[in-house]
Structure 1
Amino acid sequence: MEDVVGAKEVAGMDVLELTAIGREQHDLVGGKAAGLAGLIRLGERVPDGFCVTTEAYGNGRVPRAEVLAAYERLGGGPVAVRSSATAEDLPHASFAGQQDTYLGVTGGEALLAAIEACWASLHSARATAYREANGVPHDSVLMAVLVQRMVDAEVAGVLFTADPLTGSRGASVVDAAPGLGTAVVDGAAATDHYVLDGTEEGERGCLTPARRGELRAAGARIKELLGGEQDIEWAYDHDGTLWLLQARPITTLFPAPPSSDKPGPRLYVEFGHVQGMLRPATPMGMSTLRSMLAGMLAAFGLTVEIVDIGGRLYGDLTDALRDPSTRQRLVKLMAVDFGPRAQRAVEHLLDDPRFAPGKTRRRRGAAAMRTGPKAAAGILGALARPARARARVFGEIERLRRQQVTDPATAAELLELVERDAESSTLADAIIWPVVSGLAVSAALPPLLKDIAGEDEIHTVLGGMPHNVTIEMDLALWEVARRAEPHREMLLQTPRSDLCAAQLAGTLPDFGLDAFLERYGVRSAAEVDVGVPRWAEDPTPVFTMLANYLRVTDPEQAPDRRFERAAERAESMLTDLARRARSRHALRGRLAGFFLRRSRELSGLREAGKLVGLYALRDRRRRLLLIGAELHAKGLLAGPDDVMFLDLPELRTAVESGADLRDTIAARRAEYERERRRRTVPVALLSDGTDVETLLPAPPSDGRTLTGMGAAAGRVTGRARVVREPSDAFIEPGEILVAPTTDPGWTPLFLTAGGLVTETGAVMAHGPTVAREYGIPAVICVPAATTRIRDGQLITVDGATGTVTLEEVPGASEPVQR
C-alpha cells in the first residue's frame, strides 16, 4: 500500500488513522504505531485504530475534539489504549511493559483519561530506569498513544520467531492463554507453551494444531517482510480470525553466525573471553584481530576459519569436532585454552548425532610440516636453557619498545604501511617458542602429578610467578603510588578528568607517572582492539587505580609483600610436591621436579607474547589516527577516530576516492555501543544461533552456593565489589572483585582485591594467572556472577572447590584470609 500521508502533509496534525501513517513517521507516531502501520501496508490483518501523535504530546494537551471524532469513526465501544513512545520497539530495546496499556476502555471521557495516563507513564520510575539502562537520553523521548478497536479474543498470546532462551532460529516459540492474553504478557498466570519446529504434535492446550501452524507461517512471513526475528502479539477472535496486535524486533538475541556454504550445522567457539575481552571489537579492531589470530595459528600449522559474530571473534571448530582423530583432543584443548565453559559445551556435542565423526580428508599442509621441527627445536631449547630463552624474549621486548619508526606524510602512504603490516602479523620465534614452552610445562603438571597433588596445590606452585611483564607493570604502578603519597589528597579529591587533562598537559608534579606511561602506556583494558585508546592517550583508568592503591594502609596488604608471600608459598609447595613424587617413583620424581622448576622459570613468559603484539598495534593505531586526521580535515570524517569504525578496504576507498562514509560510521558506532551494553556473550554457538550452554542440564544448587572452576588456591571471605568496566572502579583493600572477565588492563585492580570471581575465562588466561601470582583466591566461569552477587554482599570464595558462597548472616566487613 502506498503512503497515504507524507511527512509534510501531517504537519500540525494531532491525530492520525493507522492506515494514514507513512513509512518515515516514526518520530511522529512512536514505535508501536509505526510497526502496526507497517504491517497494514504489508497486507497483514491489524485491528482498526488511530494514533494521538507526539505533536499532541508536545503541546501538553489531549486534542479532545480530534480524539472524540476519531473514536466515533472507529464506531465507539471498547478500545485498547497503548503507549507508543519514540524509544519503543527499537532493534536494541523493546521497552516491553515499561509504559502503560489500558484495555477495554469504553466512552469518550474514559478514553481521554486513559490517553493522559499513558502520557504520564513515560516518566514512571520503571520507564526512567529502563532508559538509563539502555543508554536512551530522557529528553530524546516523546510519547504517542495508540487507540485500537478491542479484539473479542477467544485465545491470545505471544509468538517469537526465534527461541529467546536458546537463540535458535530454527524454532518458533508460542505462549498462549484463553481470553485477552494479558496473562501471557504480564506473566500473571500459567500459559500453554509451544515450540514450533516443524515436527508434528497433537491436540494440546488452548491452541489447535491448525492454529499453531497458522501462527508459525505468520511468523515466518512477517520475519521475512520485516527483515529480522520478531516478537509478535496476536489474538484469535471467536470467529477464528487471527489478528496481529504488535510486531517488534526480538532485542535480546545474540547475533546469529554468518551463513556458511559448508555442510551440516557448524560449531563456533568464542576466542575473546580467553583474552579477557567480552566487549565487542571495533570494526578496524576486528579486521586487525582476525589477521593477527590467523598469523598466530599459522605459526602452529593450523587453519581455522575466524568469523565476526556480534563484534566478537569466533572460530569454526566443526571439522575438528567431526574428525575421529581430533575430537577427543579438542575437548582437552578447550579445558586448557578456552576454559571449562567451552569444554562442557564441546563435550556435550560429542553425543550429538549431527556432529558424529565421519570420513575426513586430512592433509598436512606445508606450513604444518615446516612448523613441527621448528617448534620442537624452540621448545627444547627453552627447556634446556630457560635463562637464555628469557633473555631473548625480554631483549626483543625492549628492542620493540625503543624502536624508532617514522611515518610517511600522506594518508595514501600511511595506508600502504598499515596494509603491509596487517599481512605480516606473526610473532618472532624468539618470542613464541619460549612462551609456548611455559604454557606446555604448566599444562603438563596436572597429569604428571596425578594422585600426588590436588589442583589447588598446583595452582599454589604457579603463584608468585617471576618474569611476568603484567605483574611487573602492576608492581611498577604500586611504586608510583608510593612516590605519590605526598600528593595523596590531590589524587583522591581531584576529578579524574581533571587529573587526566593535567597529565596530558604536563602540569602534574613528578612522582613517576611519566616514566610509567613511557614504559606501559601501550596498555589498556581490551588492549587487543586497535580501536581502543591506550593509557598514554587517556590515563584516566591509571588514576583510578592509583586512587585504589593509595587506600592501602596495612603494610601486610601491600601488593609487593603479597606477591612475595605468594612466591614463598610456591617455592615451599614445589619442594614438597617434588619430594612426594620422588617417594612414589624415582624417575617420575625427577621428571616432576624438572617440570615444576621449569614452570617457575618459563610460565611467567605467557604475558610477553601479548605485550610484543601491542607494540605493533601501537604503531598501527598511530598511523590509522593520522589517516583519520587527514580525512577529518577534508570533511570526510566527523573525527579522526572514526577510522576505527571502517575496515581497511573501506578506508582505502575513502582515501583514494574521497567517499563520504559518515552514515556508515554512525550506524556502526550505534551498533558498537549497543553491543557494549550486552551483559553475556555465548562461548559456543551453533550455526542456527543456538547457545550451546542453554542445552546443558542445569547444575544442582542449594541457593547459596555458586559453582565455577577454581583457578587460584585459597579461601577468602569479604565484601563483593561488582565491576563491569575497570576504568572507574574503586575497590577498597580486601574487597572481592566480581567481574564478567578480566584482561591485563584489569590486573592493577588485583593489587588491592582480596579475591576474584569471573563469569568466563580459562585457568591459563590472563586474569587467573595474575590472581595466582598475587596469591589471591580466584573462581572463574561462575554463570551470571555479576547479577547473582550483589555489590557489597558478603561472600566466600574457595579456589580449591571452585565455589562462591553467598553468606546469609552478615559478618565482619574485614576479609579473612585462610
Structure 2
Amino acid sequence: MNVITLTEAVAGRPELVGGKAAGLGELIRSGERVPDGFCLTTAAHERGVIPEREVAEAYAALGGGPVAVRSSATAEDLPFASFAGIQATLLDVDGVDALHDAIGKCWNSLHGERAVAYREANGVDQETVRMAVVVQRMVDAAVAGVLFTANPVTGRRTEMVVDAAPGLGTGVVDGTAAADHYVLDGTGYDDRGCLTPAQLAELHRAGERIAAHFGPPQDIEWAFDGDGTLWLLQSRPITTLFPLPPPTDRPQPRIYLEFGHVQGMLRPVTPMGMSALRVILAGILGSFGIRAELVDIGGRLYADLTDLVRDPATRKRLVKLMAVDFGPRAQAVVAHILTDPRFAPVPGRRSGSAGFGPALRTAPRAVAGIVAALARPEAARVRLFAEIDQLRQRAAAGPAGLGTAAERLDFVEAQDPSTRYDRIIWPVVAGILTAALPAELLKGVASQAELNTVLGGMPHNVTIEMDLALWRLAERAGAHRELLGTTPPAELAERYRAGTLPEIGLAAFLDSYGHRAAAEVDLGVPRWAEDPTPVFAAIANYLRVTDPEQAPDRRFARAAAEAEATLAELVSRARRRRPVRGRLAGFLLRRARVLAGLREAGKFAGLYPLRESRRQLLLAGAELVDGGRLDSADDIMFLTLAEARSAVRDGVDQRALVARRRETYQRELRRRHVPVALLSDGTDVEAALAPTAATAADALRGVGAAAGTVTGPARVVLDPATARVEPGEILVAPTTDPGWTPLFLTAGGLVTETGAPMAHGPTVAREYGIPAVICVPGATDTIRTGQVITVDGAAGTVTVHREGT
C-alpha cells in the first residue's frame, strides 16, 4: 500500500502514514474542512523507490496544479515531540516531475542533521523511524497562521493564542514574518490587524472543537482563502505544556507551589519515591500543625497553598515564609498571587491547618531544643552526630525475619520517615535561624554579600566533609591518574563492581557516603553504592586540578579565614552603630559558625532508612520478576505501594503499567523548565509575570548567594553523573542538590536557574568561597558551554561576554 487518500489515513496506524497524515485524517473524520490530498506511505519509503505511476495518478485525481508536499514521519507530531520545521515542507509544487523531486527532498530530510539531533534529544530510536509524505492541494491563502488551543507561553488552558499574517502562513510558522498576535479567552475579539472579529471567533470555535476531539491542547495551522473560507492544514499536540494539576472538586482557582527545588531537584520523582516524599512532608508539616494537600504534577511534588493564601491570618506571613527555603522566585510568585482578586482573603476562612494541637505539642520541645543548641552549641553538635551514627547502625543492621515480598512491603509501609529526631532537628533549626536572623538586625550596617561571606567555610557540614573526603581519595589515587582520568566513568564503575580496578579507597568512601546520590530524596533513584559512575566522574575532575592554590581543601580554608575576619569586622562595626542589635547579631553569627553547617545533617540522617527501604523494595521486586509480574527488580519503583501489593497478593501483571510509566518518566527527564507555581488552569504563574529588565547589556539578573566575582568559561551541565568540569570553569545548571556538589570542587563559580540562598547548592558554594548567582531564569538555554561569563555574587548578575570582549 504505497498511496492512500487522506480520508483513509488512520490515526491508529501512524507507523504507516506518520503523525501529520494521521492528524489530518482525524480532522477530516471529525468533519473539519481540510484540503484534499493523499499520503505516500512509509511502505514506499522502506522500498526506497518512489512509485512514480501511483503518485502521478493520485496527483491527477487532485486535478493537478500547485500542491503542498510535507513530511509525515512516524516520529512526527507526537505528544512529546512535534518536529516543527525540522523536516521538509515544500509549497507551490507544480507538475509531476517537481512532485517527485519534492518527495525525494522530504525523504532525505528524515536523516538531516537537525532531524537526527532532535530525535536523539527526545529519545527516539533512530533505526525505527520511517517517512511518509503528505500531498495536498494548495490553498490560495488571503491570511494564514497558527492557533494554539492553550497559551503556549503561560500554559493557561482557558486562553487560545493566534498568530496571523497576510498570505501563506510559512512566515508565521518559521518566525520570519511580522505576525499579528491575538490572545482569545472567548469574551471578545479584537478589531485590529489582519483578522476580523468574525474570523477570530470562527478560529476560537474551531479550536474548541478540535481540542475536544483530540483531548490534549493542539497546535493548529490554518488559512482563510480569498472567499473567507477557513481551511485547516494541520493539528498536532502542543508538546511544551507542563501537565495540568489533578482534577479536584474544591473551589477554583487553586495555586500549587513546587517543592522539589527546595531540595535542589527538578527531575521527576518515581511513583514509589513520590509515595515516600508525600509521607515525609505531610509528617513534617503536620508536626507543626499545618495540613497541606500534596499532589503529583508531572512527577513533581506540589503543595496546594490555596487555603493558606485565602486565610486572612496566614497570607500575611507567606511571602516571608518563602524566603528561607523556597527562595526569591517563589516569593515573587506568592506576592503576585496575593494581589490577584481571585485569591482575595475570605473573612472567617481557616486555612488547611491541622489545628493547634500538634503545634502546641511540638512547641515545648522546639523551644527547649533550640535554646539548648544556642546555649551549648558544641554539645548539641556532638549529640546530633551521635544520634546520626545510631541511626546509621540501626539501618545497617536491617530488619530481621523478612522472607517474602509481602513482608518486605509491610516493612516499607511501616517506616515513618518523618519520625522526630529531636537531637537532630532542633540544632539544625537553630542553625538556620542564626544564619537568617542577622540580615534583619544588620540592615543598613552590613550588606548581604558580607553576610554571605560570614556564612562561608562553615565547619560540620556533612556534604562538605563528603566532598573533601572524595578530594583526599583523588589525591591518594594520583598514581592511577591516566586510568581514572581517561576511562569513561561508566566503564570504571563496571570494572569496580567486577573487582578489576586498583585499590584507591573507594570502598571506604562508599561505606560512609554510598547512600547518597543526585536526586537522593527519590526512593527510586540508585545510590552511589549501587552505581558509582558519578563518583568516578568527580574523581576525574579532581585529577585535573594542578594548581595547589585551587585545591578544594585550601579554598575551603581560605573561605573559613575570610569568614572569621569579616565576622570580627562586622561585629565591631555593628556595635559602634547599633550597640544592642550589634551584640545580638554578633552572638547569632558566632553561633551560626558552629550550628549553620549542620543544615545538611537532617537530610543526611533521613537517607539511611530510605536506603534500607529501597533495598527491601528491590528484593520484593526480584520476587515479582520471578513470578512474571515485573521485568526487572527496579520496575517496582514505578509502582505505588498499593500497586505493588496487588502484584504480590493478587498476582496482577504490572509490566504494561510500568512500561507506560517509564516512558512518561523518561520524557519528563528531558523537560528543561519546571514551573515554580501553577494555577489549576495550567498557568505557569512566573511566566505570566512581567519580565524583569536586565541591569545592563548582556547581563542576566538573578540573586547573589555567595560573594565574589569571577570570570571564566561556562560549563552547562544538565546531568552530574558523567559531567566534566575543568578547573576554573563556571558551572551553569538548572539546580543543584548534594549529589551535584562534588562538581563544585573544581568549579570557579556557580549559576543556577532556581534555588534559595539557604538551599544546598548556594550553601556549599559559600563553604568553598566560589561566587554564586541563583534564580537566573533560562540560564542553561541562554548560556552556552565555552562562553566567557562573569558571575558577580554581590550584584546578583551574570554577564555574557561577546567574543573579543
TM-score norm. by structure 2 comes to 0.97
Give 2:387's aligned residue: 396
RMSD across aligned positions (CA): 1.5
Shift in Å, 1:498: 2.6
Give 2:451's aligned residue: 458
- SS of the equivalent of 1:361 reads coil
Shift in Å, 1:755: 0.9
Kindly indicate whether residue 552 of structure 2 is the aligned counterpart of residue 564 of structure 1: no
Kindly indicate whether residue 78 of structure 2 is the aligned counterpart of residue 83 of structure 1: no
Give 2:13's aligned residue: 25
**C-alpha contact 2:72 2:132 (8 A) present in aligned 1:** yes
**C-alpha contact 1:463 1:570 (8 A) present in aligned 2:** yes
Give 1:222's aligned residue: 210
Kindly indicate whether residue 369 of structure 2 is the aligned counterpart of residue 381 of structure 1: no
Kindly indicate whether residue 174 of structure 2 is the aligned counterpart of residue 186 of structure 1: yes
Give 1:802's aligned residue: 796
Residue 167 of structure 1 aligns with an amino acid whose one-letter code is: G
Residue 716 of structure 2 aligns with an amino acid whose one-letter code is: V
Kindly indicate whether residue 519 of structure 2 is the aligned counterpart of residue 532 of structure 1: no
- SS of the equivalent of 2:620 reads helix
Of the three residues 574, 579, 590, the one matched with 1:581 is: 574
Give 1:7's aligned residue: none
Alpha carbons of structure 1 residues 587 and 180: separation in structure 2 relative to 1, 3 Å = closer
> Matches of residues 245-394 of structure 1 in structure 2 within 5 Å?
245-362=233-350, 364-394=355-385
Whole-angstrom CA distance in 2 between matches of 1:736 and 1:605: 27
TM-score norm. by structure 1 comes to 0.95
Shift in Å, 1:470: 0.4
- SS of the equivalent of 2:164 reads strand
- SS of the equivalent of 1:484 reads helix
CA deviation digits over 1:189-217, x for unaligned, max 9? Answer: 11221111122234222222222112111
Shift in Å, 1:588: 2.4
Whole-angstrom CA distance in 2 between matches of 1:338 and 1:527: 19
**C-alpha contact 2:189 2:200 (8 A) present in aligned 1:** no
Give 2:412's aligned residue: 418
Give 1:766's aligned residue: 760
Kindly indicate whether residue 449 of structure 2 is the aligned counterpart of residue 449 of structure 1: no
Whole-angstrom CA distance in 2 between matches of 1:703 and 1:313: 37
Alpha carbons of structure 1 residues 286 and 20: separation in structure 2 relative to 1, 3 Å = same
- SS of the equivalent of 1:617 reads helix
How many residues in Structure 1 have an aligned counterpart in Structure 2?
A: 798
> Matches of residues 465-544 of structure 1 in structure 2 within 5 Å?
465-544=458-537
**C-alpha contact 1:563 1:774 (8 A) present in aligned 2:** yes
CA deviation digits over 1:277-316, x for unaligned, max 9? Answer: 0111111111111111111212222111111111111111
Give 2:183's aligned residue: 195
Kindly indicate whether residue 229 of structure 2 is the aligned counterpart of residue 238 of structure 1: no
Shift in Å, 1:57: 0.3
Shift in Å, 1:240: 2.9
Whole-angstrom CA distance in 1 between matches of 2:137 and 2:752: 50
Of the three residues 144, 162, 165, the one matched with 2:150 is: 162
Shift in Å, 1:186: 2.4
**C-alpha contact 1:712 1:768 (8 A) present in aligned 2:** yes
Moved more, 667-676 or 102-111: 102-111
Aligned-pair identity in percent equals 66
Kindly indicate whether residue 662 of structure 2 is the aligned counterpart of residue 655 of structure 1: no
Moved more, 401-410 or 135-144: 401-410
- SS of the equivalent of 2:294 reads strand
Of the three residues 705, 714, 719, the one matched with 2:708 is: 714
Give 1:736's aligned residue: 730
Whole-angstrom CA distance in 2 between matches of 1:23 and 1:97: 21
CA deviation digits over 1:39-87, x for unaligned, max 9? Answer: 2222222222111000000001111111112122222222211110001
Give 2:687's aligned residue: 694
Residue 141 of structure 1 aligns with an amino acid whose one-letter code is: V
Residue 613 of structure 1 aligns with an amino acid whose one-letter code is: G
**C-alpha contact 2:268 2:298 (8 A) present in aligned 1:** yes
Whole-angstrom CA distance in 1 between matches of 2:190 and 2:38: 40
Whole-angstrom CA distance in 2 between matches of 1:186 and 1:179: 14
Whole-angstrom CA distance in 2 between matches of 1:497 and 1:758: 26
Moved more, 63-72 or 104-113: 104-113
> Matches of residues 672-683 of structure 1 in structure 2 within 5 Å?
672-683=665-676
Give 2:35's aligned residue: 47
Whole-angstrom CA distance in 2 between matches of 1:266 and 1:125: 44
**C-alpha contact 1:794 1:810 (8 A) present in aligned 2:** no
Whole-angstrom CA distance in 2 between matches of 1:267 and 1:736: 35
Residue 661 of structure 1 aligns with an amino acid whose one-letter code is: Q
Whole-angstrom CA distance in 2 between matches of 1:555 and 1:183: 56
Residue 270 of structure 1 aligns with an amino acid whose one-letter code is: E
Shift in Å, 1:23: 4.0
- SS of the equivalent of 1:792 reads coil
Residue 778 of structure 2 aligns with an amino acid whose one-letter code is: A
Kindly indicate whether residue 741 of structure 2 is the aligned counterpart of residue 753 of structure 1: no
**C-alpha contact 2:442 2:581 (8 A) present in aligned 1:** no
Instruction: Return 5+ residue gaps in structure 1 as ranges.
Output: 1-12, 812-818
Whole-angstrom CA distance in 2 between matches of 1:509 and 1:44: 68
Of the three residues 88, 94, 106, the one matched with 2:82 is: 94
Residue 479 of structure 1 aligns with an amino acid whose one-letter code is: R
Residue 398 of structure 1 aligns with an amino acid whose one-letter code is: D
**C-alpha contact 2:148 2:162 (8 A) present in aligned 1:** yes
Shift in Å, 1:679: 1.1
Shift in Å, 1:24: 2.4
Shift in Å, 1:373: 2.2
Whole-angstrom CA distance in 1 between matches of 2:490 and 2:178: 52
Whole-angstrom CA distance in 2 between matches of 1:707 and 1:725: 24
Kindly indicate whether residue 617 of structure 2 is the aligned counterpart of residue 624 of structure 1: yes
Shift in Å, 1:809: 5.5
**C-alpha contact 1:566 1:774 (8 A) present in aligned 2:** yes
Moved more, 112-121 or 583-592: 583-592
**C-alpha contact 1:427 1:613 (8 A) present in aligned 2:** no
Kindly indicate whether residue 425 of structure 2 is the aligned counterpart of residue 432 of structure 1: yes
Give 2:48's aligned residue: 60
Moved more, 741-750 or 574-583: 574-583
**C-alpha contact 1:299 1:426 (8 A) present in aligned 2:** no
Shift in Å, 1:104: 2.0
Of the three residues 13, 26, 30, the one matched with 1:38 is: 26
Whole-angstrom CA distance in 2 between matches of 1:402 and 1:512: 21
Moved more, 618-627 or 491-500: 491-500
CA deviation digits over 1:604-656, x for unaligned, max 9? Answer: 11100111111111011111111111111122111111111111111111111
Shift in Å, 1:153: 2.3
CA deviation digits over 1:307-344, x for unaligned, max 9? Answer: 11111111111222222222232111112221111111
Whole-angstrom CA distance in 1 between matches of 2:554 and 2:417: 42
Residue 637 of structure 2 aligns with an amino acid whose one-letter code is: M
Residue 69 of structure 1 aligns with an amino acid whose one-letter code is: E
Shift in Å, 1:804: 1.2
**C-alpha contact 1:427 1:609 (8 A) present in aligned 2:** no
Whole-angstrom CA distance in 1 between matches of 2:368 and 2:235: 62
Kindly indicate whether residue 598 of structure 2 is the aligned counterpart of residue 605 of structure 1: yes
Whole-angstrom CA distance in 2 between matches of 1:696 and 1:156: 29
